[in-house]
Amino acid sequence: MKKIIAVLPGDGIGPEVTTQAVRVLQKIAEKFNHQFEFKEGLIGACAIDKTGDPLPDETLKLCNSVDAILFGAIGDPKYDNDPKAKVRPEQGLLKLRKSLGLFANIRPVMVFDSLKNKSPLKNEILDYVDFVVFRELTGGIYFGEHSRPTKSSARDVCEYTKEEIERIAVLAFDAAKSRKSVGHKGKVTVVDKANVLETSRLWRETIQELSKKYPNIEVEFMYVDNASMQIIRNPKNFDVMLTENMFGDILTDEASVIAGSLGVLPSASVGSGVSLFEPIHGSYPEAAGKNIANPIGAILSAAMLLGVAFKLEEESQAVYMAVKKTLDEGFGTEDINSTNPLKTGELTDKILENI
C-alpha cells in the first residue's frame, strides 16, 4: 500500500512525540511491505512566528492533498498568558477542523493493566474500563458568534442544527453496534444539559428519533454534571459516550485521568474527507526539548491512523500490542516510571523492538 501522510508537529512537545510516531509508522511500513511518504507542515504558534498565520494556506493545501494527517500539539505560553492576543495558535486547529469537515472527535478511554497503580482511582473501579467518546467537533459554542457588546459584557452563542447532530450520532450508534458484536454493552450514553439548554433538547429529540433505526442499541441520556461524576465513580458503566463540543472537550480530559497519564491516550478526528490523528495531551511547553515527553499517545494515534484511515487492522493491532508489551515489561517515561524512566526516544526504541 502507498499512502501520503501529512505531519503537523506543532508546538511544545509536539515535534518530539510526532517524530516517534513517524518512526513507528516507518517500522510498520518496513515490516508489512507498505510505502508511507511523510510531508511536514506548519501549524500553531510556530506557524504564527514564521508566517503570522496559525494555519498557513500552504499547510491547508497540503492537508487536502494527503491520505491522513498526523498531528502533534499546539499552544505557547506567550499566547496563553496574553488575553488580548488577536491571533492564537488554537485558531489554526479550529480552522483546520472546520475546513476539512472534521465533525467527529473519537477518543478511546482504556486502562492498561500495568498502569492501574498510576491512576488516582482504586483498582476495583478500573477493572473492565473500556469506552469511547464521540465528541461533536465543528459546532456549538466554540464556533458560534463571539462578541463583546460593551467593555463590561461578553457574548458566546451556542448553536446546533439537526443535521450536525445526526451525522455524529450515526457514527456513535454504528460504533456501539460494532462494539456489541465483539462483546461490549451496545449502549450509547448521550450527555447533555437538557434541563437548561435548548440545544440539548434538540440533541435529545434528534437522537430519540434516530435511535429507532438501532433497536438493539440501548440509549441512555445523562446530564453533564452527573456524567462528570459517573466517569470517576463508575467508568465501566460507559460503552459509547456521545456529546456536544464543549462538554466533550471537558469530559474527555477528565476521562483521560483514568488511564494514569495524559500521555498514553490517542484520538481521531474524522469527517467527510481526510482524517486527523493526535494524542490528547497539550503542548506541555515545560518539557519541550528535554526528551522526557511520553510518546505513547502519539504512537497509539498512529495506530488509529492505520486502522481508521487505511483499514490496516493487523498493522494497527501490532502497534497496540507492542505498546502493551512494552508497558507490561515495566518501561516508561518519567510520568509513568519515576524510578527508572526512559527518555522519549528510548521508550520508542523498546516499542519498535516489540513490533
Q: Which amino acids are annotated catalytic?
A: 142, 193, 225, 249, 253
Spatial CA neighbour of 217 closest among 240, 191, 249, 201: 240
d(CA 117, CA 225): 27
Per the structure block, which three cell numbers stand in for 168? 455524529
Distance of CA 79 to the CA centre of its chain: 22
Which helix H or strand E contains 322, and what residues bound it?
helix 313-328
Distance of CA 46 to the CA centre of its chain: 21
Residue recorded with cell 505531519: 7
Rg (CA), the chain: 20
CB 77 within 8 A of CB 285: yes
Spatial CA neighbour of 34 closest among 305, 230, 263, 277: 305
CA 125 to each of CA 119, 131, 230, 233, 298: distance values in angstroms, whole numbers, following the listed order: 10, 14, 11, 7, 26
d(CA 204, CA 220): 10
Q: What is the DSSP-derived secondary structure letter of residue 87?
A: S
Q: What is the DSSP-derived secondary structure letter of residue 65?
A: T
CB 274 within 8 A of CB 5: no
Instruction: Give the strand pairing for 276-279 and 68-73.
Output: parallel
